[in-house]
Each structure stands twice: as structure tokens, then as C-alpha cells.
Amino acid sequence: MAGAARGSQDLLNGPISRTLLLFALPTLGSNVLQSLNGSVNAIWIGRFLGEDAIAATANANIIMFLMFAAVFGFGMAATVLIGQSFGRGDLDGARRAMGTAMGLFLPLSVLVGLAGWTFSPNILKALATPGEAFELAHDYLRLIFLSTPASFLMVLMMMGLRGSGDSMTPLWFMGLSVVLDIILNPVLILGLGPAPAMGIAGSAMATVIAGYVSLIGIIIYVYVRDLPLRLKGRELGYLRPDPALLRSIVLKGFPMGLQMVVISSAAMAMVGLVNREGLLATAAYGVTQQLWTYVQMPAMAVGAAVSAMAAQNIGAGRWDRVARITRTGIFYNIVMTGALVVLLTLVDRAALGLFLGTESPAIPVAAHIHLLGGWSFVFFGVSLVLFGTMRANGAVIAPLIILFLSMYPIRLGFVYFAYPVLGADALWLSFPLGSLASTACAIWVYRRGGWRKAKMIEAPDPEECREAVLAESEPAGRLNPTG
């Protein structure tokens, strides 16, 4: 498999700076579209159905985010296996990895969907969902769980395609999903035209329809264009998970997923601390989070691009390029995230006013929060790039430990000890302190180089390989044509 596979970008040859940028930009576009989709849907629900409905979707979305955080790692592990296989020129290996991941995700997503549909009232009670929002949240969450198979498989396919070097196809089908969701939301909420008026359930149904249409669309596209990861004929047998690949996906993917759980749980703990400061601080922090969602996107896109590109080059044994890819990713993160932080700092009140109105008393508080904490994302982005490179070789424990230490004992510990002196500013200053600690630890681990000895999958035992070859030479082991 020389050069880039059909439909994929060549990540092994040519100038690293240009290749990495062109590969990262579509991923950034996908992230922006996904966030815009959530923002627009929140506007539809808030304008048409009111605050109770917004509270209901907030409770439901927390549950879905935690679920996706848990399975994200499995998808990322499969992406790295696919990327390394492409780097080695092993197209069959890439298809085996994709088939094993699909064989894992499909039954898992169906089980999660059925469990969510059945136990959604219990889940909402465990979250102490407010009584006035409970029924709305129940109606919304049960339908959202129906979209789980489409959502899980769509995420896997997009990550797998990026692992093969194709970041444009995921962008197009993320765009299709977003457009459908945005259009269908008011139609199904209000019952426009022949559609029934479903209220908050209509918003969930819009997500369900958009998810399945996009999944079917991307599958058809992959087969019509004959993209590298399609499975045909005997390759459909790869959907029965290969034990060695499955073990690698689970053992490496679980710590990757835990990284997302650590980040999300620390974020929820921070919300609880901010809530104690009163309504004004909570509103200010909430609107600042809206800005920070977009501030994080360049680093997330660059980190994902570095991981996919490094995985292919590691598979090809191009370690000289891996180091240059990492340096280039750090440079792009500093430039892109830094520019965005500076821009939003200069126009912070106008940007924050889009959410609360320029006369809101929370605007000065939000601007203060951003001034103290917003610049931390430049350093956190450096950590994400370094973690992306380590992850590309199967080193997943060190990033998990670093994230846990920076989020809990360092960030929340600082709040505990500094709050009596600094007051609420201890909350906002904990962000740069945690990010600086995470970056320092990531640089130390990266420079020590132990992560280079990690492996995504252990080499097969020579004796097992010999026995397998002998078995295939026996009559019972041969594949015989029929008919």
C-alpha cells in the first residue's frame, strides 16, 4: 500500500507542516459543527419550550456525555491500530482492526440503548433531576437512547477514517447530521406541516433521525467510493472480533476513555464549587464555558491529527518524522489557541453579551473569569498534543495519571487551600495551575522516552504462528471453494 490509500491523505511523505494543517482543519470543522448543533438546538428548545425543557436536556446530556466518554477510548484505540496498520502498508490489518471494533461497538451500543430506554427513570432519579423537569427529561432521554447505535457507530467510523488518513469524509457527514438536526428540531417540536407536535420529544427524535440518516449515508459512501476500510466478501468475517485485537482495544481503550471521564468528572466537581458562589457567579461561569468550548477546539483537532499522523509513521518506522510531527503540532496549537484567546480577551464583553445580553451584571464577572483562566488552554493544548503522540504508540497510562493529578489533587487541592485567601479567584486560577502542571509532567514523560517502548498490540507467539500455519495446511484447515 504505497503512499496514501484511496480517499485518504498521505501522512507518511511530504512536508509535515502543510500535511498536518490540512489534516487537522477538517477535524476542527467537525468539532465546530457539533458544538454549533448543540447551541442551536438549545436555542430552539429554550425559545419554544422554556427553562424547564432546557434543564431537562441538560440532565440528559450529562448522561450521554459520560457514556460517550467511556466508549471514546475504545474508538481511539481502534483508530491507532488502523493508523499503524496503514503505516506498515498492511491494509488487511487495518480492515481487521475496523471489523473487530465494529463487532464490539454494534452489540455494545444496542445493549446500552436498550438499558437506557428501560432504566432512564432510575438514572434521572439518581441524578436528583428537579421534579418540574423530570417528565420532560424522561421523554427526551428515552428517545435519545434510541440513537445510541447510530451515534456510537458513526463516531467509530469517523475516527477510523481519520486513522486511515481521511479527515474530509467525516466532515461532510458531520455536516449532514448537523443540518438535518437543526432543520428537524423546530419541525418536530412545533409540528410544522404534516409532522406531529412532539414537544421536547421532537428535539430528541430529530437527533435520532439525523443520526441514522448520516450513518446510512456514510456507509453507502464508503462502499460506493470503495474506501480502504470497507469490508467485502470474506472480510465480513472480520466483524467477528479477533481476540488479540479485541484485547488490545479494550486494554488500551479503557484508560483512554478514563481520561475523558476524569476531565468530565472534574468539570462537574468545579460546577458544584462554583454554584456555592451564588447565581451571578454560576451564570458568569456558564457563559464563560460557552466561550471556552470553542477555545479548546483547535487543540483538540491538532491533538487528534497528531495522533493519527504519528500512528501511521510509527507503523512505518519513521520515528524521525514522529518527533517533527509533535513539534509541529505544538507550534500550531500555540499559534491557533493563543490567537483565539487573545482575540476573545480583546472582545470578551461583546462575545459574552451574545449569550446574556450586554447589560447583564454577570458580564464583568465572566470577563474576569476569562482573563484569569482563559490563557491556560494554550498550555493544556500542548499536553493534548504530547498525549496524542504517546497514545499513537499505545502509551495510555502516563497520560491518564497526569490528567488525574492535574485535575484533582493539584487543581481542586489548590482551590481548597487558596480559597480562604483568594476567595472565588482561587477557582479561576486553578485552571492555569492545573494546565501548567499537566504540561510540565507531559513534557517530562515525553522527553524521558519510555513511551516509545509501548506497543498497541503484542507480537504473536512464534509457536502459535507455526501451529496456525500447519493447521491451514491440513485438510480441515483449508478454505475450499463450494459449488
Q: How far apart are CA 50 and CA 44, in angstroms?
A: 9
User: Residue 51's pLDDT is what?
Assistant: 59
User: Residue 465's pLDDT is what?
Assistant: 37
Q: Which domain holds residue 291?
A: 251-456
Q: How far apart are CA 271 and CA 124, in angstroms?
A: 19
Domain presence at residue 466: no
pLDDT band at 427 (very low <50, low <70, confident <90, very high): very high
Q: Give the CA distances from residue 439 to residues 431, 435, 452, in Å, rounded to whole numbers and listed in that order.
A: 12, 6, 19
Q: Residues 208-220: what's their mean pLDDT?
A: 95
Percent of the chain with pLDDT over 90: 43
Counting other chains too, the contacts that 343-352 makes at CB distance below 8 Å and 24 or more residues apart are 344/291, 344/295, 344/370, 344/374, 345/370, 345/371, 345/374, 348/291, 351/291, 352/287, 352/288, 352/291
Q: How far apart are CA 73 and CA 249, in angstroms?
A: 8
User: Residue 52's pLDDT is what?
Assistant: 65
Please indicate, yes or no, whether residues 448 and 342 belong to a single structural domain of this protein.
yes
Q: How far apart are CA 338 and CA 157, in angstroms?
A: 31
Residue ending a domain, choose from 217, 241, 265: 241
Residue 2, phi then psi, degrees to nearest 5 = -85, 145
Cell of 111: 445493549
User: Residue 370's pLDDT is what?
Assistant: 92
Residue written as grid cell 483565539: 340
Please indicate, yes or no, whether residues 321 and 359 belong to a single structural domain of this protein.
yes
Task: Please check the confidence at residue 16 and state whether its pLDDT lies above 70.
Answer: yes
Tell me the per-residue pLDDT of 59-78, one tens digit each, with 9 for 90 and over. 677 677 777 776 778 888 88
Tell me the per-residue pLDDT of 374-417, one tens digit each, with 9 for 90 and over. 999 999 999 999 999 999 988 889 999 999 999 999 999 999 99
Residue 344, phi then psi, degrees to nearest 5 = -70, -25
Cell of 293: 468550548
User: Residue 62's pLDDT is what?
Assistant: 67
Please indicate, yes or no, whether residues 185 and 55 belong to a single structural domain of this protein.
yes
Q: Residues 319-326: what's their mean pLDDT?
A: 93
Task: Please check the confidence at residue 55 and state whether its pLDDT lies above 70.
Answer: no
Domain presence at residue 191: yes
| Conformation bin of residue 195: beta by default, left when phi > 0, alpha when psi is -120 to 50 | beta
Range in 53-62, 120-129, 304-313 with the lowest mean pLDDT: 53-62
Please indicate, yes or no, whether residues 316 and 396 belong to a single structural domain of this protein.
yes
Q: How far apart are CA 186 and CA 202, in angstroms?
A: 8
Q: Residues 99-111: what's their mean pLDDT?
A: 91
Domain presence at residue 141: yes
Domain presence at residue 449: yes
Helix (H, G, I), strand (E, B) or coil at 229: coil
Please indicate, yes or no, whether residues 171 and 263 belong to a single structural domain of this protein.
no
Q: How far apart are CA 113 and CA 211, in angstroms?
A: 14
User: Residue 431's pLDDT is what?
Assistant: 94
End-to-end distance of the chain based on CA atoms, in angstroms?
33
Please indicate, yes or no, whether residues 210 and 263 belong to a single structural domain of this protein.
no
The amino acid occupying position 83 is: G
Please indicate, yes or no, whether residues 197 and 282 belong to a single structural domain of this protein.
no
The amino acid occupying position 159 is: M
Please indicate, yes or no, whether residues 230 and 291 belong to a single structural domain of this protein.
no
Residue written as grid cell 428535539: 203
Helix (H, G, I), strand (E, B) or coil at 284: helix
Residue ending a domain, choose from 193, 213, 241: 241
pLDDT band at 5 (very low <50, low <70, confident <90, very high): low
Percent of the chain with pLDDT over 70: 87
Q: Quote the number of domains for the chain.
A: 2
Please indicate, yes or no, whether residues 79 and 202 belong to a single structural domain of this protein.
yes
Q: How far apart are CA 183 and CA 131, in angstroms?
A: 30
Residue 42, phi then psi, degrees to nearest 5 = -65, -35
Domain presence at residue 483: no
Q: Which residues contact 283 (CB under 8 A, 6 or more apart)?
A: 356, 360, 362, 366
Domain presence at residue 177: yes
Tell me the per-residue pLDDT of 242-298, one tens digit each, with 9 for 90 and over. 999 999 998 888 888 888 888 877 877 887 788 788 878 877 887 788 788 889 899
Please indicate, yes or no, whether residues 318 and 212 belong to a single structural domain of this protein.
no
User: Residue 474's pLDDT is what?
Assistant: 36
Beta strands per DSSP E along 172-256 = none
Q: What is the 8-class DSSP label of residue 5?
A: P
